Structures are given as structure tokens and as C-alpha cells.
Chain A
């Protein structure tokens, strides 16, 4: 292979990206060396098994990916603003919508939520870490390396261009030759390992590590939503793993699972993809529901209305989400009985979702509502998500879907559910839990400004798309003629897109601004919270709880506060040694090796793939023979730490 085939050449945008990537790498290396931070980086972050630090790394990666996916989005809006625009050609446009969709779902939405789960779930259930801390580090690093593998495609070898759904035969060797589609397969495969492990890890954590007295029906709603999400992950992700593996066999080893010739079944790919894909959209919405429930209940200063109904509706959603997948390909030619069945199940799933909307509204009803940024995101979610849900039901009618399918109507639907559901929730969760981790709040004024700009921008950008859909504009087209009449609405949408970008920049700036200027919070409970995470100091000591709390009901910390027994008296309490897991370098090394193995398969350099795979196996063997007893934190040390973190509170 020639060097100019290896590196993507010819496009000034890409040369710009090359330069900025190289400059930022040099910058990072320079800063780390100058301030002698390499050792710190390795000890404190790369080898950590602390769920809070892993959570923070998940969230930072997700914000980076939101930036990358956002740049893709801006490029697409720029191209579509004018008819017959020649800013991007069709193949470049195809690559951009493919990477945009894949990155936003797999490498932005899911990691952001999993990051929040990492930070919050053990604290909410009164645990000192997750059930398998080492595995948790493996999860993060495989996700991160999978994401990096996917992301380098646009400068090395070329990006995939068959859509985030990667339908065959489009994604097959004949129509998508070269490394691009392989990046999709291997990047998702490596990251998928991490997701599956997270699902297992957090389900076990939630089932087995709750503080004494916290029965299932006393768990905070975010913990409940995380548990159900884990069940979805455990059952859905293996299907993706298998589907990706089969397509990899097709493309790299000449198998015929999904090919047009030799008995392959192209439609089976679509089928398997959506058996995973529909649960996947619920994997990214259920934790969001959980976040909104926490925020709305805290700032309405009431307990959640209809706690049980919330739990049962999530259980029903989890079951139903496995029997609706065909609604993504009603038009592929199944007969009327199949389409009717899946139409009905799809409409049925709107019922439990609707139940939850009423629960939030009734939680707000007669509450003493406090408006702040986290609450604003949650309030904006309700009407916007209803628009997304109602248009979902319109799409669910198979006959009508023949009209809507693959038009901008569909694009508007899924952005209304994904952005006003998942993305608003990520921001709400960020503002809400940020002080717990970093010990200071994010600035409220900047927060509110960015909120208004982003939410207005979102509606200006995506509401017109419903009408573009009615006007017949198909999705995934790189340009349109003048006489289509699509120009005005597209121009409006692009203005909205720019507003969203401005909102995003302000949110990121706010993090920088608050780190520099915000005052430290004086207590671990800056919002007058209800659940256990607020009973710990901020920032949380690495062992979380000096003493595991006793739980006597829903909203345990609220109860403790009402009874007036707030503080843990470290001088009086009989504290005990705490057993904590040791750090380990194995997860990051194993994941780097997986990255190299994936990269080898992408370019079909078997020597590289085989060597790195052997390396992965060696790291697994190393881990198996490592007794890893962990270590104990002595009582004196705990007292010392607790005195320090709690002193500043008075």
C-alpha cells in the first residue's frame, strides 16, 4: 500500500484536521513533560479503578466526541443550506453523515450516560465501588480505544460511508471497498466489549451491593433506570457483536452471510442490526429518564409522583423494546401480518412512555419549584420529548411509514427524542452532579444563557425538518435542486444549527470558567438533595462512605435530614478498616493491544492482528494469575481524611 493511500489526501479540510491533531498532540506531550505529569497521569488516571475517576474520563471523552460529531453536523448543515451547493461532494457527505451518526450514538450518548452512571450509582446505593472495579477499567479503556480506532478513520485510510446502519450490500466489499467500513466494524466491536462489561458490572453492583435496608423498591430512580438499562445491554449487545463479527467475516475472510451472491441474506443484516438497534435507543433514553426524575423531584422538593408506576413502566418498556424492531424496515417488503404486528407493539410502547410524562408533570404539580440550569433542561425536555414521541407514533403506523420512511420527517423524529431526551439529560446531569465530583458548581448565569441558546437553536433547527419531510426531502442526500422548494426551511435549520453550536461552546467555556472562578461549595449537599450521594462530602473521598449508611425508606438522605441526624460524628463513630481494590495497568495495556489488533484487521495486515491478539491473551493470563488482594485503609487515615473534608463545611 502506498503512503498516499494510507493517509487521506487531497482535501484542505482534512489537512487542517491533520495539522490541528498533530499540534494538540505535541501540546499535550509538551505540557505533560514540562510539568513532570507523566507519572501522575499513569498513577492517578490511566491505572485507576475508582468508579468516580472512570466516570469523569467517560464524560470528558463523551464531550470530545460531542465536539467531533458536532463538527460533522455543522459541515452537513453548511452543505445543505443552499441548493446545488458544492462545498462537500457526495462521497464526502456520505462519510460525514456516517461518522456523525455512529459517533453520536455509540461514542457520545452512551458513554456520557455510562459516565454519569459510574459517578452516581455506587454513591446512590451506598457502595464503596462497583462489583468488579478492574472490569470497570477494562470497560472504559475498550470503549476509549474503540472510539479512537473509529475516529482516526478520516485521516488514515478513509471513513466508512454506508450510514450508521451500514446496510448491505452498500456496506459490502463490492460497493464499499477499502478500510473505511472495516473501521466501523472493528471500532464498534472493540467498544462493544466495554459496553457489555458495563452492563454486567452495574447490574451485579445494583443487585448485590446496596446498603443495608435499601430494598429494590427503595432505590433512587436513576439507579432503577440504570439497572433496566443494564438488562437491555446484556440482551441486546451480543446481537450486535454477532452481526458485526459476521460482516467482518464477509468482508475480510470472504464469507457469505450477508452478500447478494452464494446464498447470503442482505436483509438479515438489517434484521440483526435493529434487534440490537431498537433496544439501543432505549439504552440511551432510560438513564435519561432516570436523571430527569432525580432532578425534577429534587427541585420540586417533593418525592417522585408514582414511584411504582415509574418502575413498572420501565420494566414494560424493557420487554417491549425487544418486540418492535421491524418498525425500522416496514418498507422492506414483509407481508401485512408482520407489519401489523410490529405496528401494534410499537404503538404500545408509547403507553408506558406516556405514563412517565404524567408522573413528571404530577411531581411538578404543587411542588415548591426551584429554577436552575439542571431544572431548566428537565423542564424543556417534557414538551420537546412529547413532540418526538407523538411523531414516533405517526411513524409506527406501517402504512403511513411508507410516506415518512427515510425522509427528513424521520430525521426530525429521532433528533427530537435523542437530543431533547438524551442530550438534555446529559447536560442536566452534568450541572446537577458536577459539584459532587469537583467541589464547585458550574456557573448558573452562563448555564442559563447556554440553555436558552441551545434549546431555541434545537427547535429552530429540527422543527422545520418535519415539514421538509412532508415536502418529500429524503434523508442522506448531499444536495437538492432549486425548484424543490426546500431551500427556505433548510436555511432556517442551519441557523438553528449554528445556535446549538454556540450553546455548546458556552457550556464548555462554562466548565473552564467555573474551574477558575467558582467558589467551593461548603457542603456535600449543595442542592438540598434527597438521595444518598448527597450525604457524602464534596469532593467525595475515594472510599465514598466512611461508614456505610443504614437505609429506612425512599429518599433516605431526606429522611436523615428531617430527623435532624445529619452529620457523621467521626470522633464518636466506631469506624472500621475499609477494603479497597488496587490500581492496575492491565486494562489500558490490554485495550491498546485490542486497538492494534483492530487496526491490523482494518488494513488486513494479519501479522499485526495476530501478534496483538496474542498480546491481549497474554494480558488476560497475567490478570488470571494475579491474586490482587487489594489493600486496607486504616481507621486513622479515614479519620484524617474525613476531618479534612468535613472541616471546611463549618
Chain B
């Protein structure tokens, strides 16, 4: 198994794991127990999700170790699929909600 190059203990993984759990709990808390407006909550938890995705890329997924071209390609491809799914969903659902309320 790949190990952290400096020490034997997988610090990266442990810290990444703890941060991920903390960020998730924080989003749950914000969504359920604060009285912010829906829009504010959505912006905050989406930002937290993006931060968490970043943490996982660095702590678990060896994003710094990949080989140039292939790494860039997979990251761009993933980003495109991610954007398609999220933006597409918003577009489609909004359109359906809109036509329902007419």
C-alpha cells in the first residue's frame, strides 16, 4: 500500500478522515439547527461540500502524485461530469417546478 513518504503512520488519511467528518457534522448542524435563510444555508453547505471534496482529493486521492497528462485529463473529465450532473439537475428540476406552478 502507498504510504506517506515521510513517516509510517498515515497522518494524511487520519487528518483527512477527521476533517471530512467534522465538515459533514457542521453542515448537518447548519441545515437543521440554525435559523439562517434557505438560500444562505444552501450556499454555506455547498461551499463546505466543495472544501470537503478538495480535502479528499489531497488527503486520500494522491492528486499531487499523478503523471501530468493523464492526471489533468481525468480531473477535467470528472469536473465536466460533475458540472453536467449538478447544473443539469438544477436546470431540469427548475423547469419542471416552473411548469407545475403555472
Q: Which residues in B have their C-beta under 8 angstroms from that of A326?
A: 92
Interface residue from A235, A268, A323 paired with B93 (Cβ < 8 Å): A268
Give the distance in Å from the alpha carbon of A262 to the alpha carbon of B36 in the complex.
17
Nearest Cβ distance between residue A492 and chain B, in whole angstroms? 39
A334 near B88 with CB under 8 A, answer no
Q: Which residues of chain B come closer than 8 Å to A272, judged between CB atoms?
A: 89
**Which single member of A322, A333, A337 contacts B96 (CB below 8 Å)?**
A333
Taking the complex as formed, is B91 at the interface, i.e. its CB lies under 8 A from any CB of chain A?
yes
Kindly name the residue among B84, B88, B89 whose own CB sees the greatest number of chain A CB atoms within 10 A. B88
Q: Is B46 an interface residue (CB 8 A)?
A: no
**Residues from chain A with Cβ under 8 Å of B89 in the complex:** 268, 271-272, 275
Contact of A239 among B85, B96, B97 (CB under 8 A): B85
Q: Is the CB of A265 within 8 A of B93?
A: yes
CB atoms of B84 and A337 under 8 A apart: no
Which of A239, A322, A335 interacts with B95 by CB under 8 Å?
A335
**How far apart are the CA atoms of A323 and B99 in the complex, in Å?**
22
Residue in B85, B91, B93, B98 whose CB lies within 8 Å of A322: B85
- Which residues 58-97 of B have a CB within 8 angstroms of A? 78, 81, 84-85, 88-89, 91-93, 95-97
Looking across the interface, which residue of chain B has its beta carbon closest to that of A279?
B81
CB-based nearest B residue for A275: B85
Contact of A323 with B84 at beta-carbon distance under 8 Å, contacts A333-B100, A335-B98, A335-B99 already known: yes
Within residues 225 to 268 of chain A, which ones have a CB less than 8 A from any CB in chain B? 235, 239, 265, 267-268
Complex contact A333–B93 (CB within 8 A)? no
Please, how many residues of chain B have a CB less than 8 angstroms from a CB on the other chain? 15
Question: Across the two chains, which residue of chain A brings its CB closest to B98?
Answer: A335
Q: How far is the CA of A186 from the CA of B27 in the complex (A)?
A: 25
Task: Tell me how many residues of A have a C-beta within 8 Å of chain B.
Answer: 18
Point out the residues of chain A lying under 8 angstroms from B81, CB to CB. 235, 322
Tell me the bound Cα distance from A490 to B95 in angstroms.
Answer: 38
Residues of A close to B85: CB separation below 8 A: 239, 275, 322
B45: min CB distance to chain A, Å: 14
Residues of A within 8 A of B92 (CB): 271, 326, 334, 338
Does A337 lie within 8 Å of B95, measured CB to CB? Answer: yes
With contacts A267-B96, A333-B96 taken as known, whether A338 is within 8 angstroms of B84 at the C-beta atoms is no
> Is A332 close to B, CB under 8 A?
yes
Q: A322-B81, A323-B84 are contacts. A338–B98 as well, Cβ < 8 Å? A: no
Docked pose: A271 CA to B97 CA in angstroms: 13
Of chain B, the residue at the smallest CB distance from A326 is: B92
The complex places the Cα of A27 from the Cα of B5 at a distance, in Å, of: 54
Give chain B nearest CB distance to A23 CB in angstroms.
46
* B1 nearest in chain A by CB position: A624
B99: chain A residues within 8 A (beta carbon): 333-335
Min Cβ gap B99→A in Å is 5
Q: Considering the chains assembled together, what is the distance between the CA atoms of A335 and B97 in angstroms?
A: 10
Report the minimal beta-carbon distance from B96 to chain A, rounded to whole angstroms.
5
Indicate if the CB atoms of B96 and A332 lie closer than 8 Å: yes
Q: B84 and A271: CB pair below 8 A?
A: no
Collect the chain A residues with CB atoms within 8 Å of residue B98's CB.
335
Chain B residues with CB under 8 A of A333: 96, 99-100
In the complex the two chains form, what is the Cα distance from A268 to B96 in whole Å? 10
**Nearest neighbor of B78 in chain A, beta-carbon distance:** A235
Q: 1/0 per residue A318-337: CB within 8 Å of B? A: 00001101100000111101
Which B-chain residue is minimally distant from A342 (CB atoms)?
A: B92
CA A267 to CA B93, docked complex, whole Å: 7
Min distance, Cβ B70 to any Cβ of chain A, angstroms: 8
A326-366 CB contacts (< 8 Å) to partner B: 326, 332-335, 337-338
B95 / chain A contacts, CB cutoff of 8 Å: 334-335, 337-338
* Alpha-carbon gap, A235 to B86, bound state (A): 13
With a cutoff of 8 Å between Cβ atoms, the chain A residues found around residue B100 in the complex are: 333
Q: CA separation between A338 and B78, bound complex, in Å? A: 23
What's the Cα separation between A616 and B78 when bound, in Å? 30
Minimal beta-carbon separation of A645 from chain B (angstroms): 34
Whole-angstrom distance between the Cβ of A500 and the nearest chain B Cβ? 37
* A187 and B89 alpha carbons, distance in the complex (Å): 26
Q: Note all chain A residues with C-beta closer than 8 A to B84.
A: 322-323
Residues of B within 8 A of A332 (CB): 96
Q: Which residue of A lies closest to B88 (CB)?
A: A323
Cβ distance A10 to chain B, nearest Cβ, rounded Å: 41
The CA of A267 and the CA of B99, in the complex, are separated in Å by 13
A322 surroundings in chain B (CB, below 8 A): 81, 84-85
**Complex formed: what's the CA distance from A275 to B93 in Å?**
13
A326–B85 Cα distance when bound, in Å, is: 12
The closest CB in chain A to the CB of B82 belongs to A235
Chain A CB within 10 Å — which of B89, B92, B95 has the most? B92
Q: Could you say which of B84, B85, B97 has the most chain A C-beta atoms within 10 Å of its C-beta?
A: B85
Select which of A239, A267, A268, A338 is within 8 A of B91 by beta carbon: A338
Contacts of A235 in B (CB 8 A): 78, 81
How far does the alpha carbon of A463 sit from the alpha carbon of B25 in the complex, in Å?
54
C-alpha gap A268/B60 in the complex (Å):
30
Bound: A589/B9 CA distance, A: 27
Give 20 pairs: A residue, B residue, CB < 8 Å, sorted on A.
Answer: A239-B85, A265-B93, A267-B93, A267-B97, A268-B93, A271-B92, A271-B93, A272-B89, A275-B89, A322-B81, A322-B85, A323-B84, A332-B96, A333-B99, A333-B100, A334-B95, A335-B95, A338-B91, A338-B92, A338-B95
The 9 A-B pairs of least Cβ separation, nearest first, read: A334-B95, A333-B99, A338-B95, A335-B95, A333-B96, A334-B96, A235-B81, A267-B96, A271-B89
Which residues of A are at the interface with B, using a C-beta cutoff of 8 A?
A: 235, 239, 265, 267-268, 271-272, 275, 322-323, 325-326, 332-335, 337-338
- Known A271-B89, A322-B81, A334-B96; further 11 A-B contacts with Cβ < 8 A: A265-B93, A271-B92, A271-B93, A275-B88, A323-B84, A323-B88, A326-B92, A332-B96, A333-B100, A335-B98, A337-B95
